[in-house]
Structure 1
């Protein structure tokens, strides 16, 4: 009998040790279920999806090279993480499809955080504030939103401007027509030609374009929506998102993020760690 009791005790002890081993391995099992950063590290490349016509966040300069605030920040982040940055221009209207099919590792180009987008995208913490504003020609008589009743409004398809307009139902109902464009720059060119009466777009982009291009546009004081920019990742890529987020916070702490912001905007307008 003692022999059987001893055997039973040994078996029980073995079972406890096995279960303890399983419990101890749970953190690594959790990490194994989300190897998003490890995959990027292994291939040595981070693929950033962006709209190449979205100054000053990401756009092509006179030499045809992709530059911009988000581009400079991403270059610094990937440099600190020891991986190469690949800039991948995408159709902004299909950005979430590009992300979820694995063509890119993140959407990072003045990407507005919205509740609808949160259903399909894992966002970093916000790094910049923005507003959706109306751009008209300087010589026009438009001074507020009410003046645009019955007029043609242009915006970028699939953009946060489209989301803002959808949320402003009374304003939208009074418009004569809403025209969608592939990008904001095309919309602004059509505004210059008189094809449309106004453009709804990001204030940061609008003010940069007006200043740099010295165009005869003006921004109406009345905005349609306030928002924040974030970096979008696949829903399960929490490990990668946290790695990027921690690097951004380190850049904010040591002043590098402020330095890049000052280069593009004349001052630090970022919100990381604030």
Structure 2
């Protein structure tokens, strides 16, 4: 009996050792296989056609399609997180989001706090007025109430022209452009300064209600905002965007949303 017991004990120890090695091997293999990185995209979800909610409350838009395609090429998952756009840089640098991708204008002021990918689209800051408005030029804005989105480059563009900015009765800011244009429709504003891609898209949805002035507040470029120390992600995004431009994928996405190739 003692011999049999000894044999059984040795067998049990060997079995446990084998299981331990197997578990160790599995753990090492799992550690060697990194989890798929999820890129959290910060956006204003009321900024059509760049990023907004459709009738089913899904987040859709031009920049949404661009971000999905870019992260897919990089083997990454993507999550879209609506944020207060006026606090976008704090959201990014506080690591609550990984990138800002929502019609983000590249400016020297913003470059002090965040890094940008190469430009992927050119944009203008246009002036939208009611169809029957007497306003024809920037000079006609003197004594008028003009709206713009808070924290947007539209505000910066207006302030860069002090002769115009100082002549305004009021520069009124809004949480989003949709609300600003609603105030224009009701007569509480005389004009709205807005990104061209957004303004023309929204104006097309209300044909005959708005008019875009020939003058504007200048040309600017859109880029993806990344934390300054996240150089690896920045390089990967630039690589993906370059590939999307070269193979025509970016153009297809642009035509889907704008009816034309506006990729830079």
Same fold (TM over 0.5): yes
1:107 aligns with 2:119: no
**Number of equivalenced pairs:** 231
Q: Could you say which residue in structure 1 is the equivalent of 2:227?
A: 234
CA distance in 2, matches of 1:259, 1:114: 27
CA distance in 1, matches of 2:226, 2:184: 34
Note the 1:208-223 alignment, pairs <5 A.
208-214=201-207, 216-223=209-216
Instruction: Provide, for residues 17-72 of structure 1, a one-character-per-residue CA deviation record: whole Å limited to 9, x for no partner.
Output: xxxxxxxxxxxxxxxxxxxxxxxx74521100001111111111111111100000
Q: CA deviation at 1:215?
A: 5.5
Q: Which shifted more, 211-220 or 230-239? A: 211-220
Q: Secondary structure of 2:101's match?
A: strand
1:247 aligns with 2:240: yes
CA distance in 1, matches of 2:124, 2:220: 6
Paired residues of 2:36 and 2:77 also in contact (CA < 8 A) = no
1:129 aligns with 2:116: no
Given the two structures, how large is their TM-score scaled by the length of structure 1? Answer: 0.82
CA distance in 1, matches of 2:57, 2:166: 40
1:49 aligns with 2:36: no
Q: CA deviation at 1:213?
A: 3.8
Q: Could you say which residue in structure 2 is the equivalent of 1:266?
A: 259
Q: CA deviation at 1:211?
A: 1.4
Q: Which shifted more, 207-216 or 116-125? A: 207-216
Structure 1: unaligned runs, 5 residues or longer: 1-40
Q: Could you say which residue in structure 1 is the equivalent of 2:65?
A: 72
Instruction: Provide, for residues 221-262 of structure 1, a one-character-per-residue CA deviation record: whole Å limited to 9, x for no partner.
Output: 101121000000001111101101101111111111111111
Paired residues of 2:41 and 2:98 also in contact (CA < 8 A) = yes
Q: Could you say which residue in structure 1 is the equivalent of 2:180?
A: 187
Structure having the higher helix fraction is 1
CA distance in 2, matches of 1:60, 1:239: 31
CA distance in 2, matches of 1:225, 1:236: 30
* Rg larger in structure: 2
Correspondence for 2:150 among 153, 157, 160: 157
Correspondence for 2:164 among 135, 154, 171: 171
CA distance in 1, matches of 2:211, 2:197: 13
Given the two structures, how large is their TM-score scaled by the length of structure 2? Answer: 0.85
